[in-house]
Chains A and B, each alone.
Chain A
Amino acid sequence: DADVTQTPRNRITKTGKRIMLECSQTKGHDRMYWYRQDPGLGLRLIYYSFDVKDINKGEISDGYSVSRQAQAKFSLSLESAIPNQTALYFCATSDVNNQPQHFGDGTRLSIL
């Protein structure tokens, strides 16, 4: 089983719909992150959480919200999806300090 699991892997939906992307991890890491990837732009941080009671906005949080239900679970919601939120979304986890981040397999989201 993967250490960082994202569901769904692919999703096509319509403008205005509410969507939730889920991420769960078995690594026991406190820190979790949501990124989106657009062609030519690298990974951009949407939200991050350093522990269950800590939620922080990243550089592109507008239009998104998150919930850290437990140490192992971090969900990303699009309250009212719009076409420019079509992208590849990654969840990642990390331990403290200088440890690398561990990524899920990504969710490809298309909003029509």
Chain B
Amino acid sequence: RKEVEQDPGPFNVPEGATVAFNCTYSNSASQSFFWYRQDCRKEPKLLMSVYSSGNEDGRFTAQLNRASQYISLLIRDSKLSDSATYLCVVSHNYGQNFVFGPGTRLSVLP
């Protein structure tokens, strides 16, 4: 089993839709959690960090459930520019590696 797993996708949604991505992780010692966005043929870039209390940044909301080892990302009012691959990332303690899920591809259609 992979350490970080995500919805396989792809997700094709119309503009204005709400879409949710799910991510699970297997290492209970994981301490930091992130969502990255990757555009085609580009490097991954941070979308948002995920905090225990949940956090929101505009149209984006991230949730963490440590008991279930589950992370989610909700995108409201999808824009064409949201089309990308969304990567879930978990990190362990100091000096440990930074582990990516396989990513979920989103296409927002006009």
Bound pair: A and B?
Answer: no
Give residues in B with beta carbon < 8 Å to A.
none
Give residues in A with beta carbon < 8 Å to B.
none
